[in-house]
Amino acid sequence: MSLNKSTLALAGILLATTALGTGAAFAQAKVAIVTPYMAQPGTQFYVEAFQAVADENDWDVNVIDTAGDVAAVISRIEDLVVQNVDAIVINVDPTQVTAGLQAAKDAGIPVFGMDAGADPLLVTNVTSNGYAMAAETSTYVADRIKGEGNVVMFVFEAFPPVQVRGVVADAVFGNYPDIKVLDRVTPDVSDGGIADSRAKMEAILSANPEPGSIKAVWAAWDQPALGALQAIEDAGRSGEGIVITGIDANPQAREAIAAGGNFEASVAQDFSGIGAATADAVARVLAGEEILQSVTYVPTKLITKANATE
Amino acid sequence: MVFIRRYGTLIGFVAILVFFSVMLPATFPTARNWLNITQQTSMLMVVAAGMTVVMVMGDFDLSVGSAASLAGIVAALMMAAGQPIWAAVSIALAVGLLGGAFNGAMVSLVGILPFIATLATMTMFSGLAFVVSGGKTISGRAIPEDFGNFARGGIPLGDWGGVAVSLPNLSIIAILVILVVWILLEQTTFGRRLYAMGGNMEAAHLSGIAVKRLRLIAFSLTGLAAAAGGLMYASRVASANPVQGSGLMLNAIAAVFLGTTMSRHGEPRILATVVGVIVLGVLDNGLTQLSVDSYIRQVLVGALILVAVGAGSLGQKRR
């Protein structure tokens, strides 16, 4: 009896999977997205935009979420290689899944990075351009202070994606003879970066008490900008027109920018754009084109009071 | 009736194999795919083998996932600091053994219920992994290439339909661990005493079995296996982060439970655990190839455990 019941139930489960799994026609291109980070908001935007393009191309897209398990990403890539899919898209640090990427390469299956990190085993990695993001905010600062005055910079050399932002800001400010970089601060980020940036900014404000002696604060990411904002407001110097900019446009930064205080601008990555551009790259390779750039950059967007709440 | 109850799961397992073989004739029943599956399940295999040892006594270890993460982090930090791989691996295994012994001491010497004791150490080990790593993922050049290459290597088995296949190193480790646990549980007095304790702890104690000492040893072995699983994971992803082993715990317990439906009195047996692990691995592998949603797969695994264990206990009640 129990055998009948359990085999019946099993048969039911298996039949259900047949219905779920094999509805796709055979002529379609099979494309799989593998990510351990589906629960993160950015990832969902990538995937939705990717699927929109995939629908236009009539691809059979298989989205696989390993729920944080990076080793499972390798396992699923191996399965996809055995299944002989047409293309694989990953959204995970490629150096952690080299075993899977190698298996795909050996089988001649192209793998694309969707904000994954550059890697020789990827056809291309589609991401935002850190240099361009820093150029947006540093030129915003230079224009707002009309090319003259003292600027405080918050940088972080130890983390490569943030380090490149500082390089660009240095170049932009250096190109204005009347802009002086008063201080180049590396905050302690162990507590998130806001508190220590605030303390560092308080010290700089005390050292420069004259109104107008600090024209702007350029931060390589949002946390130091938020810390500097708190220091300026608490010192009662928010009326001096000190311009603050950050990068990343996180929710707290958007709120501060929308409030219309000293924090005037930040830069948002275009997650949907990254998803769509990845799908375009897949389409080009499936059409037989060769992609030469190992990194494909997607434009970012300057966030000011005008669009902070969008 | 006993025959049916005991072999229902095995028949179900074969049904799954037949199903995937029919649906994916060109890719599923191939040597290459099966070698993939043995490699993909190798980490879970080792952790589940360790879990079997304590579950034989009717105990649990909820801390195996955290212990695996901690072992990976310890090894990665030592390698990042320039220590040789053998030293990093040995110390990480020692950490697992000590963590397991600590579990054993809490359970057998202090007398805390295993569920509660290992729930507490689960959060402790996880916290420690965060403390020593600062919450960061250790990857890239900090990890020696040889360490990552180990998980990618194997013993070449020659050509199979034009594709070079090899027995992966991780699969070899898993097979060795299974062999050791099989000898330990099935061929030694140590194993028979654990089963006696699982049958009736009090009776085992009264019959002169050193219950406390054996329990301590059993938990230590589970911790050691968890650390080994964590190291295999770290080698496979050539990196370590403080949460990467956390998925192993529930899957290990699920695999052992699936296995218990195949034994005479519902007790854990190592070879049955192996089947349990392979069922989970085959579902992952086959459903991915059938493009079934990864969330549906989770629902299916849960349903499968209920069906298998439920059928078993219904059969028992009727007797």
B195 touching A, CB under 8 A?
no
Contact B65, B242 (CB under 8 A): no
* Structure confidence at residue B308 (pLDDT): 78
Q: How much is the pLDDT for A21?
A: 47
Facing A99 at nearest CB: one of B23, B236, B291: B236
- The pTM for the full model equals 0.84
Digit-coded pLDDT (tens) for B50-104: 999 999 999 999 999 999 999 999 999 999 999 999 999 999 999 999 999 999 9
Region label for B162, one of left (φ > 0), alpha (ψ between -120 and 50) or beta (otherwise) = left
- CB contacts of B234 in chain A (<8 Å) are none
- pLDDT, greater one: A18 or B157: B157
Kindly report the nearest CA distance between residue B201 and chain A, in angstroms: 31
Mean pLDDT of B10-38: 92
pLDDT greater than 50 at residue A22: no
Structure confidence at residue A88 (pLDDT):
97
| Most A-contacting residue of B133, B237, B283 (CB-CB within 10 A), to test interface | B237
To test the contact with chain B by mutation, choose from A1, A8, A10, A28 the residue with the greatest count of B C-beta atoms within 10 A, namely A10
d(CA A104, CA A97): 11
Chain A residues with CB under 8 Å of B315 CB are 1-2
Can you list the alpha helix ranges (DSSP code H) found in chain B? 2-23, 31-40, 42-56, 64-80, 85-104, 114-133, 145-152, 169-187, 189-199, 201-206, 211-237, 246-260, 270-289, 294-318
Whether pLDDT at B168 is above 50? yes
Q: In what helix (H) or strand (E) does residue A238 lie, and over which residues does it extend? A: none
Residue A225 CB-density burial (10 A; 0-12 exposed, 13-18 middle, 19+ buried): buried
Looking at the predicted structure, is the pLDDT value of residue A72 above 90?
Answer: yes
pLDDT in tens, A80-90: 999 999 999 99
Alpha-carbon gap: A17 to the closest alpha carbon of chain B (Å):
7
Q: What is the pLDDT of residues B178-232, one digit of tens each?
A: 999 999 999 999 999 999 999 999 999 999 999 999 999 999 999 999 999 999 9
Question: Tokens representing B36?
Answer: 């993939």
Q: Which CATH architecture has domain A130-268?
A: 3-Layer(aba) Sandwich (3.40)
The tokens for A49 are 């935009």
Instruction: Report how many Cβ contacts below 8 Å link chain A to chain B.
Output: 151
Residues A227-251: b if buried by 16+ CB within 10 A, e if exposed: bbbbbbeeeebeebebbbbbbbbbe
Which residues span the domain enclosing B209? 2-318
Suggest the residue from B27, B130, B291 to mutate for an interface test with chain A (most A CBs closer than 10 A): B291
pLDDT digits (tens, 9 = 90+) for A119-162: 999 999 999 999 999 999 999 999 999 999 999 999 988 777 88
Instruction: Look at residue A67 in the predicted model and tell me its pLDDT.
Output: 85
CA angle (B134, B137, B139) in 5-degree steps: 130
| Chain B residues 228-247 with a CB less than 8 Å from chain A | 233, 236-239, 241, 243-244, 246-247
Structural contact between residues A225 and A252, judged by C-beta atoms closer than 8 angstroms? no
Kindly give, in sequence order, each residue whose CB lies less than 8 Å from that of residue A59, ignoring residues fewer than 6 positions away: A28, A29, A30, A31
Label residue B264 exposed, middle or buried (CB < 10 Å: 0-12, 13-18, 19+). Answer: exposed
Q: Go through chain A and tell me how many residues it has.
A: 310
SS3 call for A64: strand
Tokens 């830069």 found at: A267
pLDDT at position A147 is: 95
CATH topology for A27-123+271-297 is Rossmann fold (3.40.50)
Local confidence band at B161 (pLDDT 50, 70, 90 cut-offs): low
- Sheet containing A60-65: give its strands across: A60-65, A30-35, A87-90, A111-114, A125-128, A295-298
Are the C-beta atoms of B168 and B154 separated by less than 8 Å?
yes
Which residue in A70, A75, A97 is closest to B244 by CB distance?
Answer: A70
Asked if pLDDT for residue B169 goes beyond 60, the answer is yes
Is A2 a residue whose pLDDT tops 70?
no
Percent of residues, chain A, with pLDDT higher than 70:
91
Q: What is the total count of domains within chain B?
A: 1
Question: Quick one: closest CA in B to A31, which residue?
Answer: B291
Chain A CB contacts of B311 below 8 Å: 2-3, 5-6, 9
Lowest-pLDDT range, A269-283, B69-83, B111-125, B258-272? B258-272
CA angle B308, B196, B62 (to 5 degrees): 55
Q: How far is B207 from chain A (nearest CA, A)?
A: 37
Q: Are B249 and B64 in contact (CB under 8 A)?
A: yes
* Residue B294: band (very low, low, confident or very high) from pLDDT cuts 50, 70, 90: confident
Listing from the earlier edge strand, what are the strands of the sheet with A216-219?
A179-185, A149-154, A216-219, A243-245, A263-268, A301-303
Q: Of the candidates A79, A84, A98, which has its C-beta nearest B148's C-beta?
A: A98
pLDDT at site A25: 42
Residue in B22, B280, B289, B318 to test binding to A, most A beta-carbons within 10 Å: B289
pLDDT of B3 > 70? The answer is no
Give the whole-angstrom CA distance, residue B151 versus residue B130. 25
How far, in Å, CA of A176 to CA of A164, rounded? 20
- Interface predicted TM-score (ipTM): 0.88
- Gap between the Cα atoms of A234 and A254, Å rounded: 20
The predicted model gives B277-302 an average pLDDT of 88
For chain A, the average pLDDT equals 89
CB contact under 8 Å between B287 and A76, yes or no, is no
Confidence of residue B317 (pLDDT cuts 50, 70, 90): low
Q: Who among A7, A76, A79 is closest to B12 (CB)?
A: A7
Band of residue B142 on the pLDDT scale cut at 50, 70, 90: confident
Q: Work out the minimum CA distance from B222 to partner chain A, whole angstroms.
A: 21
> Could you give the angle at the alpha carbon of A259 between the alpha carbons of A254 and A261, nearest 5°?
105
Quote the CA–CA distance of B230 and B244 in Å, as a whole number. Answer: 8
Nearest to A82 among B16, B289, B296 (CB): B289
| Nearest CA distance, A236 vs chain B (angstrom) | 36
- Closest partner CB to A69 (pick from B16, B247, B291): B247
Q: Which residues are A179's β-sheet partners?
A: A149
Per-residue pLDDT averaged across A163-189, rounded? 94
Averaged pLDDT score across all residues of chain B = 91
- Which chain B residues are Cβ-neighbours of A83 within 8 angstroms? 24, 27, 288-289
Instruction: Give the pLDDT band (50/70/90) at residue B307.
Output: confident
- CB-CB under 8 Å, A5 with B311: yes
Domain ranges of chain A: 27-123+271-297, 130-268
Query: Who among B36, B295, B307 is closest to A78 (CB)?
Result: B36
CB contact under 8 A, B151 and A99: yes
Query: Do A27-123+271-297 and A130-268 show the same overall fold?
Result: yes
Across A183-194, average pLDDT: 85
Instruction: Collect all residues of chain A within an 8 Å Cβ-Cβ radius of residue B152.
Output: 98-99, 102
The enclosing domain of B144 has a CATH number of 1.10.3470
